[in-house]
């Protein structure tokens, strides 16, 4: 019982609430070089991720859409984390984030602020909420034109 | 005039939780408060025992063996059909076809009756509150036949707009598809009136009874509908079994939609002839244990009494509605005058999925999302709702646990009062 509630506190940390209430980089980007749409058919969450890539570096990134606190905060934190990153590093981070959110004992890595999302691991039904934005960004920068799905 | 104040809160009328073994298993160390009955209901011990006993004592294939066990299994299977006939008050046993559930029953009508009878320009009329399973099969048939799908709108309170419905009915309307009870809102549709108007326009009527049969008395002869469909698992029975009721005069002329064993009369490589109804629509070895389990479930609800169940759930619905509204910062979606035991709601500042997770940690199981009714969510301008759906075993304590868990969620998110 107490475990449950401490897990809940792990999931809904203050940083998550903050990014849910005031998502960062929450706007469309008309001059984006890369755009992708993400959709979780199970819950109906939808978002668009925009990126401006120049010389292999993500110069700017933003998103719009609607979703739960976990999905909104994950998208918001992601935009802060990847701005200024070379594409190869974004891809590596995408893979590491996926492992951090889904594997019981992921490889040690300093995720910085993104660490707040690790509580999702204890809530398997919510993992897809946290990964949607990352899948969508991955699709955007790898130029996959299809709608990203978490399925 | 001397009504005591304590009487303002309705009392739960039934106390049948003890019949359901799963309700005594704790979830994450807490008492299970199961309020996701619209998705599926729990099973009473009698249903679990009936399925077990079938495999322990009666298992054989049906309609073919000369041996005793096969005849015995066939008898149980056909007894299940009679049980469904009684549940729906159908005129004849031959009007009951077993399917995997509501979805398959609708697909059967779509791919047998509709595909054979519709032509380009014909219209199928459904309502704006249908489950995806009463939308998508018709879209598939429309694409194949050139027929058009029309949709009667839903009012702000979540009722069928009857005036719009009347105006959409016309000479081209061949079939009306309507939910008896909306799974997402709880609205009880005036299906007898819907049917009468459809018949006046010369259209047949299919009623999706998935959310109705476990909660109220259904009489297909009184409703005068042409097709009625439901699932066993929402009726305290097993998954993977359900039924189609189809008026005999229509069913007897419908072509097969799946070919195989059990549905034929004779087979040669040149030509096959088909069995009479209902066997024509039951190709392959059916879910015999499922039929036996559903039979036990039907007996169970008839033993408890569908009128008693309806009254019990109505009193809990009133209590839940009152408790939820008293929380503040919460809006109920679906406020029809006639409702079954479903409360769909949105909480200011908390997404339904976050609510679902938080309530789960309190042992309260609800559904969060679009409830397979995405067009309806779009109509209300919301991505989804949280839904508490009641069953005969729910209690006032369950409603209180729901309200308390919602209060915790609001506190955690810093919203509400």
* CATH number for B196: 3.40.640.10
Cβ–Cβ < 8 Å for A90, A58 = yes
Enumerate the H helices of B305-395 as residue ranges.
306-327, 352-360, 374-380
The total of structural domains in chain B comes to 2
Residues B109 and B166 in one domain: yes
Q: Give DSSP secondary structure letters for B269-304.
A: SS-EEEPPTTGGG--SS--HHHHHHHHHHHHHHHHH
Instruction: Return the pLDDT at B107.
Output: 98
Q: Is the same domain home to B278 and B399?
A: no
- A61 CA: distance to closest CA in chain B (Å): 24
How far apart (Å, rounded) are the C-alpha atoms in residues B97 and B252?
12
Does a structural domain hold residue B387?
Answer: yes
Please check whether residue B377 touches A, CB under 8 A: yes
* Residue B3 forms part of a structural domain: no
Per-residue model confidence (pLDDT) at position A61: 97
Clarify whether residues B123 and B189 are in a common domain. Answer: yes
Residue B268 sits in the same domain as residue B321: no
Q: Which residues of B touch A12 (CB under 8 A)?
A: 354, 358, 412-413
Quote the longest CA-to-CA distance of chain A. 52
Q: Are B331 and B352 in contact (CB under 8 A)?
A: no
Which of B357, B367, B386 should we substitute to test contact with A (largest number of A Cβ atoms within 10 Å)?
B357
Distance from the A43 Cα atom to the nearest Cα atom in chain B, whole angstroms: 5
Q: Name which of A4, A45, A66 is nearest B28 (Cβ-Cβ).
A: A4
**Whole-structure pTM over 0.80, yes or no?**
yes
Q: Which residue, B257, B274, B303, sits at the end of a domain?
A: B303
* pLDDT at res. B63: 86
Q: Given an 8 Å threshold on Cβ–Cβ distance, is B383 in contact with A66?
A: yes
pLDDT value at A1 more than 60: no
The bridge status of strand B33-34 relative to strand A57-66 is unpaired
Find the helix or strand (DSSP H, E) in which B3 lies: none
Inter-chain CB proximity A68 and B352 less than 8 Å? yes
Cβ contacts of A66 on chain B, cutoff 8 Å:
383
B372 is catalytic: yes
CB distance from B354 to chain A under 8 Å?
yes
Asked whether the beta carbons of residue A4 and residue B353 sit closer than 8 angstroms, the reply is no
Q: Which residues of chain B does A42 touch, with a Cβ-Cβ cutoff of 8 Å?
A: 369
Chain A: residues touching B (Cβ < 8 Å): 1, 3-5, 7-8, 11-12, 17, 42-46, 66-70, 123, 125-126, 129
Alpha carbon distance A147, A136 (integer Å)? 8
Query: Residue B42 domain-assigned?
Result: no
Contacts of B384 in chain A (CB under 8 A): 43-44
Residue A130, pLDDT above cutoff 80: yes
- For residue range A30-74, what is the model confidence (pLDDT) as tens digits? 999 999 999 987 777 889 999 999 999 999 999 999 899 999 999
3-class secondary structure, B366: coil
Whether residue B349 lies inside any domain: the answer is yes
pLDDT of residue B126: 98
Look at A83-97, A105-119, B225-239, B277-291 and tell me which has the smallest mean pLDDT: A105-119
Question: Are B148 and B83 found together in one domain?
Answer: yes
Mark yes or no for CB contact B361/A5 under 8 Å: yes
Residue of chain A nearest B351, judged by CA positions: A68
Whether B377 and B292 map to the same domain: the answer is no
In sequence order, the β-bridge partners of residue B127 are: B152
Q: Is residue B2 part of a domain?
A: no
Distance from the Cα of A53 to chain B's closest Cα (Å) equals 31
Which residues of chain B lie closer than 8 angstroms to A131, CB-CB? none
Q: What is the CATH number of the domain that holds B341?
A: 3.90.1150.10
Whether the CB of B378 is below 8 Å from some CB of chain A: the reply is no
Q: Is some CB atom of chain A closer than 8 A to the CB atom of B371?
A: no
Which of B28, B370, B412 faces A44 most closely, judged by CB atoms? B370
Asked if A67 lies within 8 A of B351 by C-beta distance, the reply is: yes
Chain B CB contacts of A125 below 8 Å: 357
B127 shares its domain with B219? yes
Given an 8 Å threshold on Cβ–Cβ distance, is B29 in contact with A44?
Answer: no
Domain shared by B309 and B296, yes or no: no
Q: By C-alpha distance, which of B189, B230, B228, B182 is closest to B205?
A: B228
The SS3 call for residue B239 is coil
In the predicted model, what is the mean pLDDT of residues A118-141?
93
What's the pLDDT score for residue B5?
47
CA A35 to chain CA centroid, nearest Å: 15
Q: Are B179 and B134 in contact (CB under 8 A)?
A: yes
Q: Looking at the domain that runs over A2-149, which CATH code has it been given?
A: 3.90.1010.10
Preceding omega of B337 cis (within 30 degrees of 0):
no
| Structural tokens at position A146 | 């299809």
Q: What angle do CA B344, B211, B81 make, to 5 degrees?
A: 170
For chain B (417 residues), the mean pLDDT of every run of 10, in chain order, is: 47 88 92 98 98 98 89 97 98 98 98 98 98 98 98 98 98 98 98 98 98 98 98 98 98 94 88 92 96 98 97 97 96 97 97 95 94 92 95 97 97 88
Catalytic residue among B136, B311, B372, B382: B372
Cβ proximity of B47 and B236 under 8 Å? yes
Distance CA B125, CA B148 (A): 8
Which residues contact residue B172 at a Cβ distance below 8 angstroms, ignoring those fewer than 6 apart? B121, B122, B123, B148
Residue B328 belongs to a domain: yes
Examine residue A110 and say whether the peptide bond preceding it is cis (omega within 30 degrees of 0): no
Does residue B204 lie within any of the structural domains? yes
pLDDT at B7: 47
Structural domain including B33 reads 8-37+305-413
Last residue of a domain, one of B269, B303, B337: B303
Six-digit token string for A35 = 């755009």
Q: Same domain, yes or no, for B292 and B337? A: no
What is the Cα Rg of chain A in Å? Answer: 15
Residues B100, B230 within the same domain: yes
Q: CB contact, 8 Å: B375 with chain A? A: no
Instruction: Using CA coordinates, name the residue in chain B closest to A6.
Output: B361
Residues B348 and B361 in one domain: yes
Residues B54, B187 within the same domain: yes
Q: Is residue B43 part of a domain?
A: no
ipTM score for this prediction: 0.88
Which of the listed residues B241, B269, B303 is the one where a domain comes to its end? B303
């Amino acid at each position: 019982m107490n475990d449950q509630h401490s897990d809940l506190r792990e999931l809904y940390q203050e940083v998550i609430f903050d990014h849910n209430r005031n998502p960062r980089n929450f706007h469309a980007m008309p001059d984006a070089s890369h755009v992708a749409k993400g959709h979780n058919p199970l819950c109906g969450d939808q978002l668009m991720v925009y990126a401006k890539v120049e010389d292999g570096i993500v110069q700017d990134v933003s998103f719009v859409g609607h979703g739960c606190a976990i999905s909104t905060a994950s998208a918001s934190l992601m935009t802060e984390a990847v701005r200024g990153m070379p594409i190869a590093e974004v891809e590596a981070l995408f893979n590491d984030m996926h492992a951090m959110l889904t594997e019981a004992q992921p490889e040690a890595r300093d995720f910085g602020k993104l660490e707040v999302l690790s509580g999702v691991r204890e809530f398997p039904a919510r993992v897809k909420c946290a990964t949607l934005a990352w899948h969508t960004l991955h699709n955007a920068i790898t130029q996959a034109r299809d709608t990203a799905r978490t399925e | 005039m001397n009504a005591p104040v304590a009487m303002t809160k309705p009392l739960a009328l039934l106390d049948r939780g003890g019949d359901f073994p799963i309700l005594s298993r704790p979830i994450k160390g807490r008492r299970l408060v199961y309020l996701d009955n619209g998705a599926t209901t729990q099973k009473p011990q009698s249903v679990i025992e009936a399925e077990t006993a079938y495999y322990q004592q009666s298992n054989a294939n049906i309609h073919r063996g000369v041996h005793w066990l096969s005849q015995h299994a066939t008898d149980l299977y056909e007894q299940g059909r009679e049980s469904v006939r009684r549940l729906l008050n159908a005129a004849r046993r031959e009007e009951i076809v077993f399917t995997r559930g509501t979805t398959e029953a609708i697909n059967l009508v779509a791919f047998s009756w509709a595909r054979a009878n519709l032509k380009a320009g014909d219209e199928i009329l459904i309502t704006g509150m249908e489950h995806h399973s009463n939308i998508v099969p018709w879209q598939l048939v429309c694409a194949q036949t050139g027929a058009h799908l029309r949709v009667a709108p839903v009012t702000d309170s979540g009722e069928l707009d009857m005036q719009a419905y009347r105006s959409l009915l016309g000479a081209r309307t061949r079939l009306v598809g309507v939910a008896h009870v909306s799974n997402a809102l709880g609205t009880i549709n005036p299906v007898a009136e819907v049917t009468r108007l459809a018949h006046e326009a010369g259209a047949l009527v299919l009623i999706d009874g998935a959310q109705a049969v476990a909660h109220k008395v259904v009489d297909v002869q009184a409703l005068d509908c042409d097709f009625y469909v439901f699932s066993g698992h929402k009726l305290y029975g097993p998954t993977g079994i359900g039924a189609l009721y189809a008026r005999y005069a229509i069913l007897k002329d419908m072509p097969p939609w799946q070919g195989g064993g059990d549905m034929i009369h004779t087979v040669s490589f040149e030509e096959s002839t088909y069995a009479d109804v209902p066997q024509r629509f039951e190709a392959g070895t059916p879910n015999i244990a499922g039929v036996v389990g559903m039979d036990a479930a039907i007996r169970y609800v008839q033993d408890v009494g569908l009128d008693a169940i309806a009254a019990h759930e109505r009193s809990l619905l009133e209590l839940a509605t009152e408790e939820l509204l008293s929380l503040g910062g919460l809006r109920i979606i679906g406020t029809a005058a006639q409702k079954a035991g479903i409360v769909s709601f949105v909480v200011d500042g908390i997404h339904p999925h976050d609510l679902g997770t938080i309530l789960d940690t309190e042992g309260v199981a609800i559904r969060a999302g679009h409830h397979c009714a995405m067009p309806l969510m779009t109509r209300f301008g919301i991505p989804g709702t949280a839904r508490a759906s009641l069953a005969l075993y729910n209690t006032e304590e369950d409603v209180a646990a729901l309200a308390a868990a919602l209060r915790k969620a609001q506190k955690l998110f810093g919203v509400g009062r």
